[in-house]
Structure 1
Amino acid sequence: MSFIPRSILRTIGKFQQTLDPDAETKVIEEFRASRRQTISSIRFLLILIVVPLLINQLSRNFVITPLVEKFWNPQESDVFINSSQEEKALAELKRFEQGLYFEARIGKIPALSSEVLQKKLKEKAIAISEENKIESINAVTNIFADILTAITLIILILTGKQQLSILRSFAGDITYSLSDSAKAFLIILSTDIFVGFHSPYGWEIILGSTLKHYGLPENKSLISLFIATVPVIMDTIFKYWIFRYLNRSSPSAVATYRNMNE
């Protein structure tokens, strides 16, 4: 980082390279180094993605799920792991009962006696309990599988610090080699997705899916607090990054961003 914009330094560096008598040899060497950097970065990136996912699926299907199903008590009357799951199950059973009454009223099905109604409700309740039991087992499995995946990812990062440094350099080169309009487009796209006007709806879906994934009860207050604080913090970080770093390295991209944003 310097007081002179990075784009001007790159232009001066390219002009000096053209005057160098050994420019052709250096270009070939730089190309070979760039190719090695690209291959190494892509290989390490694939390892960071494929290996944790593979560990997640193998541990989930062959280790964690069989153990959870083995130690899960099938005779336990309480099949729900949180209050939200129980409320949804009761609401589903109530809708099913109301649907039977409605179909009987319009003549779609014959009138139900008390015994037949109780039998159908019992069958539906058993089916709902089985579905919630599977959902509960999956939630517990997700917790242990994701912990194992996170540990695997941390080990890969700690053991591959050199490859990680090459990957970061490769990502930085790609980012700064983009045109000013492309940089401005990516910044606007990122800010609109995460901190834009419509971002709260996306955050609600993400948080709700995450809570369901781990079998946690839906907490509207927690979700509202998260949406009210985290996007604001992210917006501040975006603005600070634009002012502190991008404004020095690529001022023309910042000007393009401001013009596009207006």
Structure 2
Amino acid sequence: MMTDLSPAEQHIQYVTSFQDLAYTPFEGAINAICWRRTLGGNFSEIVKRVALNGNITEIQPEELRELQLSEQGQLARDILLNDLQLLTAHGASPVLNVINHYEQDDSYLFFPTDVYSFHVDRSPIPTDTFLCTYYGDSSEILPNAQGQQKVLIPEIRDELKKLYHGSAAGFESFLSEHFFDLHYEAKPGARPISLGRGHLWRLAVDHPESKVPPCIHRAPREKSGQNRLLLIC
């Protein structure tokens, strides 16, 4: 583990190989592991060559192989195919997407539950979230100490109680069933950390066997106007 981390990065461990990324255990405060890389290749060329279909377009490996690319585009493609292969061999189910934007949740104006909101992932079985942004705006993570679960904020909790019409004993189950308890508010002065481009990350998930807090993260607002090239599983 690197020792020159800022206080906000003390929950991150940096590694130098996929093997270490996949198998280094989360422990203590560590709930985000990063295989930090500087990638060559022209990933924007791949984004421009893919035939887009709606807000989010999934690229299949076969389609990726069929793209007519320059030498730099081919280098980027080789990296993408290798990352897909590494994760698949690890037992994950990676998806490569070109993202124009995500759908925003407007069901509850005071409490959006879309991926632009800081949130954690939950699973009934042990698993992790892997992701890498190759092009476009990158995701952000928030140190757990800098976030507060929204359902614990009094004014938000009061509004949620107005939506709930069951017994008091069932309120917590209501919050979980509608995923309200997965979302977080950044505290004043919080400093989210950009995951950057090209780095492959593994984030801790809320599951029954987890020994660490789940990693708080969110998708970026598409401020640059660029479509994102994102691998996630």
Tell me the TM-score range normalised by the shorter chain: under 0.3
Q: Which has the larger radius of gyration?
A: 1
Instruction: Point out the structure with the larger strand share.
Output: 2
Compute the TM-score of the two structures, normalised by the length of structure 2.
0.21
Compute the TM-score of the two structures, normalised by the length of structure 1.
0.19
